[in-house]
Amino acid sequence: MIRYALLCEHEHDFEGWFAASADFDDQQARGLIACPVCDSKAVRKAIMAPAVAGTKRRSDDQGPAQTHAMMMEAMGRIRRHVEDNFDDVGDAFASEARAIHEGRSEDRGIYGQATSAEVRELVEDGVPIAPLPPEPPKKSELN
């Protein structure tokens, strides 16, 4: 996986993870990358310094609770974006993902359910899929 620092036209910065460097260009050309803050599709790669492991903790590092909260918020935004912009194909996900990959169905974003066996077959056949982040817990379910 490759992590890119990204910027939208309004200078909102965020990260994107891609299986290969060409995936960013492909997804950007298809209009699949949008700013999680303002939903702008005018997104570019930002200059990034390589990550180097160190032993000292910086004073501006966030603690585990803050990091967890940020991750949960980001996953919630991703899930909402998918639910708002992609087609829910329910339990026909595996067959529809395969049809899109093979050019037998319209190229579009979809989501739905698949069995673990269906997911394994799609991955083995090179169909690009990813799990949808779980729904964030409801505030009433939290301590």
24 CB neighbour count, 10 Å cutoff: 20
Residues 38 and 72 in one domain: no
Is 57 within a domain?
A: no
Examine the pLDDT at 104 and tell me if it is beyond 90.
Answer: yes
pLDDT digits (tens, 9 = 90+) for 70-99: 888 888 889 999 999 999 999 999 999 999
Domain assignment present for 55: no
Q: Could you tell me the pTM of the whole model?
A: 0.53
Of the two residues 127 and 50, the one the predictor is more confident about is: 127
On whether residue 40 sits in a domain, the answer given is yes
Range(s) of the domain holding residue 13: 1-49
Report if residue 28 sits inside a domain. Answer: yes
Bigger pLDDT: 18 or 104?
104
Report H helices in 1-143: 21-29, 64-85, 93-101, 116-124
Cα–Cα distance between 78 and 5 in angstroms, integer? 16
Q: Residue 42 has what DSSP assignment?
A: -
pLDDT, tens digit (0-9, with 9 covering 90-100), for 44-69: 988 766 666 655 555 556 678 888 88
Both 8 and 45 in one domain: the answer is yes
Does residue 142 fall inside a structural domain?
no
The answer to whether residues 69 and 130 belong to one domain is yes
Q: List the helix and strand counts (H, then E) for the chain.
A: 4, 5
Number of domains the chain is built from: 2
Q: What percentage of the chain exceeds 70 in pLDDT?
A: 86
pLDDT at 22 > cutoff 80? yes
- Both 32 and 88 in one domain: the answer is no
Token representation of residue 37? 């803050």
